[in-house]
Structure 1
Amino acid sequence: MFKPLTQLGTAAFVCSVFASAAQADKLQDVLDRGYLIAGTGSTNSPWHFMDANNDLVGFDVDMLRLIAKGLFDDSEAIEFVNQSGDARIPNLATDKVDVACQFMTVTAGRAQQVEFTIPYYREGVGLMLMADGEYADYDALKAGGSGITVSVLQNVYAEEMVHAALPEATVDQYDSVDLMYQALNSGRADAAATDQSSLRWYMTQNPDRFSDAGYGWNPQSYSCAVKPGEQRWLNFVNSVLHEAMTGVEFNTYAASFEEWFGVQLDPPQIGFPIEYK
């Protein structure tokens, strides 16, 4: 039979609940520590890579610095943990990092293991062309039919993915990104199917050499992630990212977007919040 808690028992239970909540307050833990511990990679431009000065840079890195700035008004109050892609979720689960921003695609399966933030980038596949090549744009490639060859990174879904955009094209798969781009440079491929972020980065670095065919498909959302159950911490990181894209830190976000992707963003419309339209 159920027995009601005594006053003392009730008080002890409530204290226990609040103690547990306090222990689980990641935001306060980070503030008390005085710096952010952030997980990301170091080998994938324009997201996270080492520059000529051996400094960690990239769009993911800029997003993490925005979080540090929101916490401490200091974008340098941050310790980076260099991690592989398969360490992103385990490092969150074991508290080795406070947050991971590492071009992490949102999936339903991953959402059962981490708490995803709001997306800070929408990825997709694009077609890279040589600026002085035979084919000027997507329409020209599609008109080329079976005479078109597309290089792509080797993947079980690679042929299906390319044929979603160019149904008749010949698909050449390569086991490295460098070989995929070499095929385009050497003329063995008429186009390279690659992430649109990579396409924009290569065009930014080589504006007279490469061009965008002007067609994108296979959308994916990139979000940061935190450990499950840390709602206050998740709310804070979401607030930072939201205001970076729509509010007080828009200029910082827009400058980073232009640096890494070569695209100037239009300022958010003033007036009624566009999120609710």
Structure 2
Amino acid sequence: MKFGISAAIAAIATLLAVLPAQAQGASSKLDEVLARGHLVMGTGSTNAPWHFKSADDKLQGFDIDMGRIIAKALFGDPDKIEFVNQSSDARIPNITTNKVDVVCQFMTVTGERAQQIAFTIPYYREGVGLMLKAGGKYADYAALKAAGSSATISVLQNVYAESMVHAALPDAKVDQYESVDLIYQALNSGRSDAAATDQSSLAWYMTQNPGHYKDAGYGWNPQTYACGVKRGDQDWLNFVNTALHEAMTGVEFDTYSKSFKTWFGKDLPPPQIGFPVEYK
């Protein structure tokens, strides 16, 4: 009988040893952040309108605002946040090594990345769009498509650039450039009839140059942007999801919509009152 009790105790001890720390009642990242008194967020500093420096050298942008929304949900103060400036290839390593609590850095959700980190709910859906000069040769996407090979599209140089443009405009001529600035210069000089670029960049550029450009009215190649946290901590993931969800649909909607207007120049319709729209 004594042997049986000892064996049972040993078995329980072995089980506890292999159970995840959180399952044994260990604190979550949520408790750690609250105890520290501020959020540590990984992000960039060179990609408007997502994260970039203002004239007085302060970080700003849509990603930065998402971090402040999370900080406010934690502490009632959006300024209780420390930004870790990182390159895009450091986004996942800095999460997995606990250098940061969360990353919000225009990170596209993919199955491969989701095996390494846990993604939050989406806070933006990106896509490719076509920017035209106001009063230019072509009025909209339909006119560009009808022009066939007569239309020239400027695009950032990469291995997929031509096939990406041809997914929307099968017969257009594609001119590739080494930087985003150059694709806009090609449009301004008349070397191209439209610039193919991220919808967010298109919206930002139009906001900064009102009346000079317009959206051709067609978007494609969708991809989801979400923040990332370390895998295995459901409490922390749930909290960040709650902060983002209520910014987009609830008590912090005014903050989210103000940010959206600032960086993308668009007014968002307020969340519908009554039955939650997420379940329709």
Quote the residue 2:128 is aligned against. 125
Per-residue CA deviations over 1:18-60 (Å, capped at 9, x if unaligned) read: 8922546111011111100000000000000001111100000
Per-residue CA deviations over 1:127-147 (Å, capped at 9, x if unaligned) read: 001112111111111111110
Compared CA separation, residues 156 and 81, structure 1 to 2 (3 A): same
- Could you list the structure 1 runs, at least 4 aligned residues long, displaced by more than 6 angstroms after superposition: none
Please give the residue correspondences for 1:89-108 in structure 2 after superposition, counting only pairs within 5 Å. Answer: 89-108=92-111
2:44 is matched by which residue type in structure 1?
G
Give 1:155 shift. Answer: 1.2
Per-residue CA deviations over 1:167-222 (Å, capped at 9, x if unaligned) read: 11000011111111111111100000000000000010101111100000000000
Query: Matched residue of 1:143: which SS?
Result: helix
Per-residue CA deviations over 1:115-162 (Å, capped at 9, x if unaligned) read: 000000000000001112111111111111110000001111111110
Please give the residue correspondences for 1:145-224 in structure 2 after superposition, counting only pairs within 5 Å. Answer: 145-224=148-227
- Residue among 261, 266, 272 paired with 1:263: 266
Please give the residue correspondences for 1:110-121 in structure 2 after superposition, counting only pairs within 5 Å. Answer: 110-121=113-124
Q: Unpaired runs of 5+ in structure 1?
A: none
Indicate yes or no: 2:245 matched with 1:242. Answer: yes
Q: Unpaired runs of 5+ in structure 2?
A: none
Compared CA separation, residues 10 and 194, structure 1 to 2 (3 A): same
Q: Matched residues in 2 for 1:54 and 1:239: separation?
A: 31
Compared CA separation, residues 34 and 134, structure 1 to 2 (3 A): same
Quote the residue 2:78 is aligned against. 75
Q: Matched residues in 2 for 1:39 and 1:216: separation?
A: 29
Count of aligned pairs: 275
Q: Matched residues in 2 for 1:87 and 1:171: separation?
A: 32
Identity, % of aligned positions: 68
- Residue among 40, 44, 51 paired with 1:37: 40
**How high is the TM-score relative to the length of structure 2?**
0.94
Q: Matched residues in 1 for 2:149 and 2:7: separation?
A: 80
Using the TM superposition, name which of 16-25 and 238-247 deviates more: 16-25
Indicate yes or no: 2:161 matched with 1:144. Answer: no
1:111 is matched by which residue type in structure 2?
A
Give 1:93 shift. Answer: 0.8
| 8 Å Cα contact 1:24-1:230 kept in structure 2 | no
Query: Matched residue of 1:103: which SS?
Result: coil
Give 1:231 shift. Answer: 1.0
CA RMSD of aligned residues (A): 1.7
Quote the residue 1:58 is aligned against. 61
**How high is the TM-score relative to the length of structure 1?**
0.95
1:20 is matched by which residue type in structure 2?
A
Give 1:274 shift. Answer: 1.0
Q: Matched residues in 2 for 1:234 and 1:5: separation?
A: 39
Q: Matched residues in 2 for 1:114 and 1:14: separation?
A: 26
Quote the residue 1:47 is aligned against. 50
Using the TM superposition, name which of 12-21 and 245-254 deviates more: 12-21
Q: Matched residues in 1 for 2:147 and 2:192: separation?
A: 13
Q: Matched residues in 2 for 1:15 and 1:163: separation?
A: 57
Quote the residue 1:251 is aligned against. 254
